[in-house]
Amino acid sequence: MDFFLDSADVETIENMYATGLVDGVTTNPSLIAKSGQNFFTVLKQISKTVKGPISAEVTATDSKNMIAEGKKLAKVSKNIVVKLPLTQEGLIACQHLTKLKIKTNVTLCFSSTQALIAARSGATYISPFVGRLDDINENGMELIREIKTIYTNYQFKTKILVASVRNIDHVRESALIGADVVTIPPKIFEMLYEHPLTEKGLMDFLNDWKKTKQKIL
């Protein structure tokens, strides 16, 4: 399973990409707004560091302008993936951009039938929002299981990109289900390293080593 970083903070992305565990980046209008920077400047800066897929979202609501924006975004870097909303207009744009060999990420997916039509429209990635479903007392991870079953049944090439990740359990369950990608906020990414027994064990080892009064270097 690939790890994408859900962020538009260039410095954070650079630092975490250095771990060798980040395979790509997802951005959205909200994240760009928080950065306070120019959209295209941010994308160009990220593309200098990240060699994997970088999702950049259109802001138009009609297919004609989505296609035009998608073409412009795709020119920023060869690894840009155009992010489109899961609407009728969005899927029309998805089909058109797919024919142009431009990769797409269909976002704001909340049902397995939406995921089905996105795959049929040629989406490179489908982004189900598990955290937002949990917020309204629905089971976000159950949606991932349904999509995985449907895509396996019909051998769709569309990759499942688990989005709106709120905790490490979402990451763990995504891996167990067999999702292709999980996009993780920086705070959750850092939590993947953590376990109280790891910290305790390390302190025990270091304390015991001090007692030997030895040095490696």
Positions annotated as catalytic residues are 83
Other Cβ atoms closer than 10 A to 68: 14
Are the C-beta atoms of residues 183 and 27 closer than 8 Å to each other?
no
Residue 125 makes CB contacts below 8 A (sequence gap 6+) with 53, 55, 81, 103, 104, 105, 106, 158, 159, 160, 161, 180, 181
Say whether 6 sits in a helix, a strand or coil.
strand
Cα angle: 91, vertex 94, 97; to 5 degrees = 155
User: Which of 35, 37, 82, 74 shows the shortest CA–CA distance to 57?
Assistant: 82
Give the separation between CA 126 and CA 163, rounded to whole angstroms: 9
